[in-house]
Chains A and B, each alone.
Chain A
């Protein structure tokens, strides 16, 4: 099976739930487990939140792009912004690191993405934006009904 979707939306925090629910609805065709579904919703939420808070510093005129490809049982997910970019990616992905402690950020976003997905990659250029690429293979549903 092969499929593809792409959605763009304003960098408003209201759209964090829109983004994760949209991706979850799209990958439902893979018949994921509840746990897999939660993992995908969580990583989308993390990446979109980063785009809004860090990429655009809550400037709602920014645009966030979410793209998802399905190839057999594997999805590749891209979350892109055209904002500030990350000057030091190595530092940003450290557990508990946050550039905005005043906003009560836990600094766990990238750690969660790394843990919940099979592959995790960041491309970031200062003043041009950040692209997070995530891949995950879904277990074939073992259900006796298949």
Chain B
């Protein structure tokens, strides 16, 4: 199973939905595509991992890299709908200490002030 993803902009929030498996092979392309969307008008990012079934430390690297870019825009990054397995990896990495999480996409968008 490979990785597919979609980007959507809601007000000043870039919404990224990932489906499938995120490993080193998929990480480079995801990073390049993601950076294309971090353009004018985008300040915050919401990442929806509801359908991400597998991730290794390459995924942590991608999120950390985008987190730094969002911080440069003075924005926030919220990761939502993380499943049990992927959550363990985030816990282990300590990334939760800097990146905010929410249970659902709606909650994440609301947190960043997007009118639903």
Binding site for B on A (CB under 8 A): 13-14, 16-17, 34-35, 38, 41-42, 45-46, 49, 52-53, 103-109, 111-112, 115
Cα A38 to Cα B86 with chains together (Å) = 9
Contact of A106 among B1, B23, B93 (CB under 8 A): B93
Query: Which residues of B sit under 8 angstroms from A42, Cβ to Cβ?
Result: 54, 56, 89
Closest 3 CB pairs of A and B: A13-B25, A106-B60, A104-B61
A17 touches B2 (CB 8 A): yes
Binding site for A on B (CB under 8 A): 1-2, 21, 23-25, 27, 31, 54, 56-58, 60-62, 64-65, 84-85, 88-89, 92-93
Query: Which residues of B sit under 8 angstroms from A46, Cβ to Cβ?
Result: 56-57
Distance between B56 CB and nearest chain A CB, rounded to angstroms: 4
User: Interface of chain B, helix or strand or loop or mixed?
Assistant: helix
A49 touches B92 (CB 8 A): no
Distance between B22 CB and nearest chain A CB, rounded to angstroms: 10
Distance between A34 CB and nearest chain B CB, rounded to angstroms: 8
| Further pairs besides A45-B23, A106-B93: 7, Cβ < 8 Å | A13-B23, A49-B24, A53-B24, A104-B64, A105-B57, A105-B58, A106-B61
Cα A143 to Cα B15 with chains together (Å) = 41
Jot down 24 A-B pairs with beta carbons below 8 A, ordered by A: A14-B25, A16-B25, A34-B85, A35-B84, A38-B88, A42-B89, A45-B24, A45-B56, A49-B56, A103-B61, A104-B64, A104-B65, A105-B57, A105-B61, A106-B57, A106-B58, A106-B60, A106-B93, A107-B57, A108-B92, A108-B93, A111-B92, A111-B93, A112-B56
